Amino acid sequence: MASDSSPANFNNGPSSPGDSFSTPIANSSSPAHRRRRGRRQASIPSSAAATPSPNPSRFANSSSTPTPSRSTRRGRRPATSPTPAAAATPSSTDDFPPPSSDGGDDMEEATPTFVWGTNISVQDVKNAIQMFIKHFRETHELRNDVYGEGKYMRLIHRVLEIEGEWIDVDAHDVFNYDSDLYNKMVRYPLEVLAIFDIVLMDIVSLINPLFDKHVQVRIHNLKSSTSMRNLNPSDIEKMVSLKGMVIRCSSIIPEIREAVFRCIVCGYHSDPVVVDRGRITEPTTCSNQECLAKNSMTLVHNRCRFADKQIVRLQETPDEIPEGGTPHTVSLLMHDKLVDAGKPGDRVEITGIYRAMSVRVGPTQRTVKSLFKTYIDCLHIEKTDKSRMMSEDPMEVDKGSQRVEDDVQFDEDKVEELKELSKQPDIYERLTRSLAPNIWELDDIKKGLLCQLFGGNALKLPSGASFRGDINILLVGDPGTSKSQLLQYIHKLAPRGIYTSGRGSSAVGLTAYVTKDPETGETVLESGALVLSDRGICCIDEFDKMSDNARSMLHEVMEQQTVSIAKAGIIASLNARTSVLACANPSGSRYNPRLSVIDNIHLPPTLLSRFDLIYLVLDKADEQTDRRLAKHIVSLHFEDTQIAEQDVLDLATLTAYVSYARKNIHPQLSDEAAEELTRGYVEMRKRGNFPGSSKKVITATPRQIESLIRLSEALARIRFSEWVEMRDVTEAFRLLEVAMQQSATDHSTGTIDMDLITTGVSASERMRRENVLAATRNIIMEKIQLGGPSVRLLELLDELKKQSSGSEIHLHDLRNAVATLASEGFVVLQGDSVKRI
């Protein structure tokens, strides 16, 4: 409590109401009264101690923190004051004996001392603390060696060895050992901590009487932490623990604790003058008996003693702010070692004593305003930083092979929760459902996007070759198929993501530019997107409208992950380790199934092949879907009830899940998985020249196997698994095939190559499909006249079902069959209707 801001503690308050008075609050503060006397005395000897006397233990200590009363260190430092009070008062009239190992005890011998305004006996507390320090053992220690030293004894030894200045005491330990002591400590921190320090010093001096540093107790990890918003008058002078973000640090304030004056007449140096009530009284006369000059004393700066002090402002973290509120702030007072422990922007959890001081109206006025300024006397500060990662850098991933170990850590509870989640058997499906729950179906696309979010492992070989871990996805499709919404959603989920429209995106430009279309007068914002989304996801809408120039940049980005900019003869290579999620409209406004994908989107195959997954999002003119959409929108507008979405993770959890996985899970291929990959790849290669295949198809390239590895790694990450397993590989193949089914094309006919799918299935399945094909051909021969009116696919399906009783036939199968027929030039497929030609 040697708080300087509350100097009044030590002096006899009533005389100076105008002084900043830190103890306005009922009883808790008042121990000052009792202690005041002791302290006052203490200050006298301490000044003596300041003239270094090679005295053992406490004297020495008191000299290191010499000014019990006025020291900068506030309450937390209570040790300073009481210690000398208890021990360093040989000269005082009190019955404190000269420093001895048990000196502290006598304080209570005079009369049983109580913490002011309570029935808490100082002696009891002291004993309790002694017991705690000496005998506390962690549970696992209890079992093993009962005779070894307790946790805190060991800590003390260590502190002595490294000449530390404090020991951290976990409040949970205190609670577990002696909950009564814990409660007292939280309610009367000033008093209890003072005693704590005394006990500690006693122990220290027993172990090493020559140890001349002052060791303090730092309590942390309280049982309950308060929200800044809920601090109220009843918390004053209590120990509190808060989470928040440091927003401002003052410069370090050297606070004078002890001043030395020199007489300008005779050169006599005064005894050190201790700060009293925040002030140093300059001696008016020289105390040299031979001089006695008046007003001759001047301060000798380099003989004064200063301590570090800093005022830090802490602000609520966004998650604690209620709707419609602004963040609260609170001032913290840091001392000595705590100075500069937190920098602006750090998220910290602090433990300290909530204090209030009254506001003086003016330096000269005696009236006290009825206001109090509050601050927290900081005892302990701990960086938490977990949420910062989420808000700022959830996409912060592997940095090549040398992964920088961040000190960033998730809250243990949260991690547990996430791990629990990851153990659910259906986590993959569940995450898929949680991704853009407002967009229905498109499940396979969502699965692909999920893989993109989690990403594979980037690899950098010693040779310098690097393999990206980012998965690039292209969505091609008809307008109005919520591609853009998907993009927006992913963009939101990945805060480092950049959303840009291909139209007018200069891709590399570092600045943004407004352009005006000379014809329509439409204004467009051009921005450089890729560089900005380093380590994120770059979402490019209207990819097809991107200028060739900009697009060519993407080649480099998507494989080498850098952007080169040539300006004024200098070529700069900037990192752009980004996943690209692009969506493109077909070159005609609708996808033309008769043209190849490449023709449809006007993208060069070289660029196209850099996408791991290419999805065709075709708008199937399905009345059911439309009706669902209509219903959804009507209910959105007319029913106040929220559309119930059960079993879906909220965005925050999803983000946490993704970032945790990206951060902490780095799956490796198991042998089994590697085997399967090789096998699958070889099979894919073979398909290209499958004997039954009459047409050329895109065969698998080494790029595909890289994609497969990335996808399976991502899938393992989804499960929080360190090993890529067989099933991951299988699913990766499936995803790739689903994407290929829709996008792998046959250039000879320009249609979607259904053969590819046929060859991808088992022999029996192939047989079945051939049967369907034959049946369809027959039906069409029967039903449709050459050049006659077209027939809808659904009608054909009914017919087909009638004929082939027994086996299930899906629209999907039919569509395949018809497409094959169309490629043979037998029929024309227009949207949903079939016409014979």
Partner 1 sequence: MGGPPYDCMANPLGAVRLTFEKAIGSGSLTQTHPLAFDGKDWGALDLFRHFLFQESGLSQVPILNSKTMRWVQPNSLVRYRGMIQDMLGNEFYVGAYKDGNLWRTNKFMDVSQYPMGTPPDMCVWERRLLYCVPVPGQSSWTEPSCEMEPNRGMDWSSQNREKRRRMDDEDADPLDLREDGFPSPSPESRDSKTASSSSSMSTFQYVDKDNLPCLVKIYDSPESELKLNDVFEFIGVLTVDSELAVEKDDNDELSNSFYDDALVHLPPNKVPRLHCLVHRKLAVHDFLQSSPIMEPHLVKGIREALFRHLTTVLGNDEVAAHFMLLHLLSKVHARVDDVAVGKLSLNLMGLSKESATVFGTRLSQAFKSLLPFTHFIPLTLEYLNTASLAPKKDYQENRLIPGVLQLPEGSHIMVDETQLESGSLSSIGIENTKSLKNLMEFQKVEYDFQYYKMEMAADVQLLIFSEGKSNIVPADVVVPFQPSSLESFEIPVAEALEAWRWYLATVRLLPHSIGSEMQKVVEDDLVAARQADRSLGSRDFSRWLTMARLVSSSFGETCLSLEHWQMVKELERLRRERLK
Binders of partner 1 in range 232-271 (CB under 8 A): 232-233, 236, 245, 247-248, 250, 253
Show the tokens assigned to 629: 């959409």
x/- site string to partner 1, residues 771 to 790, per CB under 8 A? --------------------
The correct pick among 313, 337, 727, 777 for binding partner 1 (CB under 8 A) is 313
Query: What's the rounded Cα separation, in Å, for the pair 686 and 688?
Result: 5
Please give the structure tokens belonging to residue 673.
């998985």
CA max distance for the chain = 134
For partner 1, the binding residue among 1, 25, 389, 539 (CB under 8 A) is 25
Query: How many CB atoms sit inside 10 A of residue 627's CB?
Result: 10
Q: Minimum CB separation from partner 1 for residue 633, in Å?
A: 5
- Within 8 A by CB and 6+ apart from 513, the residues are 506, 525, 526, 527
Residues 6+ apart with CB under 8 A from 801: 809
Question: Which residues from 411-440 bind partner 1, rule CB under 8 A?
Answer: 438
362 binds partner 1 (CB under 8 A): yes
Among 123-131, 194-202, 523-531, 533-541, the segment contacting partner 1 (CB under 8 A): 523-531
Least distance in angstroms from the C-beta of 512 to partner 1: 4
DSSP 566-633: EETTEEEEEE---EEEEEE--SSSS--TTS-HHHHHT--HHHHTT-SEEEEE-----HHHHHHHHHHH
Please say which residue, 511 or 805, places its beta carbon nearer to partner 1.
511
* Candidates 268-276, 316-324, 687-695, 776-784; binding stretch for partner 1 (CB under 8 A): 316-324
Verify binding: residue 682, partner 1, rule CB under 8 A. Answer: no
Give the one residue of 119, 289, 326, 402 binding partner 1; rule: CB under 8 A: 326
Task: Dump strand ranges (E) for 456-497.
Answer: 459-460, 466-467, 473-477
Among residues 110, 266, 524, 652, which is the contact residue for partner 1, using CB under 8 A? 524
Closer residue to partner 1, CB minimum distance, 5 or 823:
5
Residue nearer to partner 1 on the CB measure, 328 or 768: 328
Inter-residue contact 761 to 783 (CB < 8 Å): no
When asked if residue 794 is in the footprint of partner 1 (CB under 8 A), the reply is: no
Given a contact cutoff of 8 angstroms between Cβ atoms, the answer to whether 121 and 113 are in contact is yes
**Could you say whether residue 627 binds partner 1 (CB under 8 A)?**
yes
Give whichever of 102 and 647 is closer to partner 1, judged by the CB atom: 647
Hey, which bits of 707-746 come out as E strands? 723-724
- Applying CB under 8 A, does 619 fall inside the site for partner 1? yes
Answer yes or no whether residue 179 interacts with partner 1 by CB under 8 A.
no
Pick the stretch among 104-112, 182-190, 229-237, 816-824 that binds partner 1 (CB under 8 A).
229-237
With CB under 8 A as the contact rule, the residue among 112, 148, 267, 345 that binds partner 1 is 345
Report if residue 523 touches partner 1, rule: CB under 8 A: yes
Binding of residue 182 to partner 1 (CB under 8 A)? no
Nearer to partner 1, 63 or 315 (CB): 315
Q: Is 385 left (phi over 0), alpha (psi -120 to 50) or beta?
A: left
Name which of residues 41 to 100 contact partner 1 (CB under 8 A).
none
632 binds partner 1 (CB under 8 A): yes
Give which of 59, 3, 194, 13 is closest to 113, Cα–Cα: 194
What is the rounded distance in angstroms from the CA atom of residue 276 to the CA atom of residue 11?
8
Q: Which residue, among 355, 456, 427, has the nearest Cα to 662 in the 3D structure?
A: 456
Residues numbered 188 to 227 that lie near partner 1 (CB under 8 A) are: none
Counting contacts by CB under 8 A, is residue 685 touching partner 1? no
Among 224, 302, 322, 425, contact with partner 1 (rule: CB under 8 A): 322
Helices (H), 51-150: 57-64, 82-87, 103-110, 122-135, 139-144
Cβ atoms < 10 Å from Cβ of 830: 12
**By CB under 8 A, is residue 823 in contact with partner 1?**
no
Q: Is 292 left (phi over 0), alpha (psi -120 to 50) or beta?
A: left
Positions in 116-175 near partner 1 (CB under 8 A): 117
Q: Which of residues 163 and 392 has its CB atom nearest to partner 1 in the complex?
A: 392
Contact indicator for 222, 337 with CB cutoff of 8 Å = no
Q: Is residue 299 a contact residue for partner 1 (CB under 8 A)?
A: no
List the one residue from 300, 630, 652, 837 that touches partner 1 (CB under 8 A): 630
Residues 637-676, interacting with partner 1 (CB under 8 A): 637-638, 640, 642-643
The tokens 């299988």 sit on which residue?
Answer: 730
Euclidean distance between CA atoms 627 and 30, whole angstroms: 73
Q: Which residue, 192 or 245, is less far from partner 1 as judged by CB?
A: 245
Beta carbon of residue 72, minimum distance to partner 1 (angstroms, whole number):
9
* CB distance 226 to 235 below 8 Å: yes
Could you tell me the CA-to-CA distances from 399 to 403, 459, 494, 663 in Å, in that order?
5, 9, 18, 10
Q: Interface mask (CB under 8 A) for partner 1, residues 528-567, using x and -?
A: ----------------------------------------
656 membership: H or E segment, kind and range: helix 651-664
How many residues in the shown chain lie near partner 1 by CB under 8 A?
102
Question: Is 350 a binder of partner 1 (CB under 8 A)?
Answer: no
